[in-house]
């Protein structure tokens, strides 16, 4: 199951979609919206009101399918499910679910970790965090550590600058 949805993620469906009789391990990773976020511009954690996710669905689904294929080539994974929300997601609600099945747990855990890490970095899904204290801020998926609001713009010494939530500019090509 590879899916992008505006509806709440059915975690039972995601997990049941990877059950296979040859597998003794199913791993389900669920990413949820944090209520409080450490923010470099604030002395105290900021409260998240909600997140908005946007994507170019056709491209994102294609890349998610490629991640599934790559995971199956790297580990003895039988089944993979990746589901990501779009639209408004409230604190404590799941925004992403990754499930894998494998004959053994170590491979299942390794594949699930690789899938979520690669998904967050490579797949064109953009997140706008809405903070109670300071309003909205875009988080760009390929600008570094996507969990950290400091990566909405690149450091001055970096070769990549975030020009908008959907565009990066390579300084070497566009001085």
State how far the alpha carbon of 107 is from the alpha carbons of 34, 73, 78, 83, in Å: 28, 12, 11, 20
Measured between alpha carbons, how far is 96 from 83 in angstroms, rounded to an integer?
Answer: 6
pLDDT tens digits for 79-122? 999 999 999 999 999 999 999 999 999 999 999 999 999 999 99
With beta carbons less than 8 A apart as the criterion, state whether 55 and 122 touch: no
Confidence of residue 146 (pLDDT cuts 50, 70, 90): very low
Q: How many CA atoms lie within 13 A of 75 on its CB side?
A: 25
pLDDT for 154 equals 35
pLDDT tens digits for 37-53? 887 777 889 999 999 99
Q: How is residue 121 written in tokens?
A: 């970095």
Q: How many CA atoms lie within 13 A of 72 on its CB side?
A: 11
Contact partners, residue 5, CB within 8 Å, separation at least 6: 83, 84, 85, 86
Global pTM value = 0.79
Q: Tell me which residue of 170, 53, 33 sits closest to 123, measured CA to CA.
A: 53
Measured between alpha carbons, how far is 94 from 77 in angstroms, rounded to an integer?
Answer: 24
Measured between alpha carbons, how far is 170 from 139 in angstroms, rounded to an integer?
Answer: 18
Percent of the chain clearing pLDDT 90 (strictly above): 70
Lowest mean pLDDT among 11-25, 95-109, 119-133, 136-150: 136-150
pLDDT tens digits for 150-164? 333 333 333 332 322
pLDDT for 126 equals 95
């Amino acid at each position: 199951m590879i899916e992008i949805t505006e509806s709440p993620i059915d975690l039972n469906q995601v997990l049941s979609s990877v059950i296979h009789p040859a597998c003794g391990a199913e791993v389900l990773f669920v990413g949820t919206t944090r209520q409080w976020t450490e923010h470099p511009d604030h002395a105290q954690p900021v409260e998240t009101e909600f997140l908005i996710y946007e994507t170019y669905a056709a491209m994102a689904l294609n890349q998610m399918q490629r991640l599934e294929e790559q995971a199956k080539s790297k580990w003895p994974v039988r089944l993979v499910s990746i589901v990501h929300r779009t639209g408004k997601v409230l604190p404590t609600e799941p925004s992403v679910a990754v499930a894998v099945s494998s004959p053994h747990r170590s491979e299942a855990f390794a594949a699930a970790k690789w899938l979520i890490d690669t998904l967050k970095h490579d797949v064109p899904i953009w997140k706008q965090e809405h903070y109670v204290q300071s309003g909205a801020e875009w988080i760009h998926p390929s600008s570094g550590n996507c969990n950290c609001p400091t990566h909405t713009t690149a450091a001055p010494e970096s070769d990549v600058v975030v020009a908008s939530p959907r565009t990066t500019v390579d300084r070497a090509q566009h001085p």
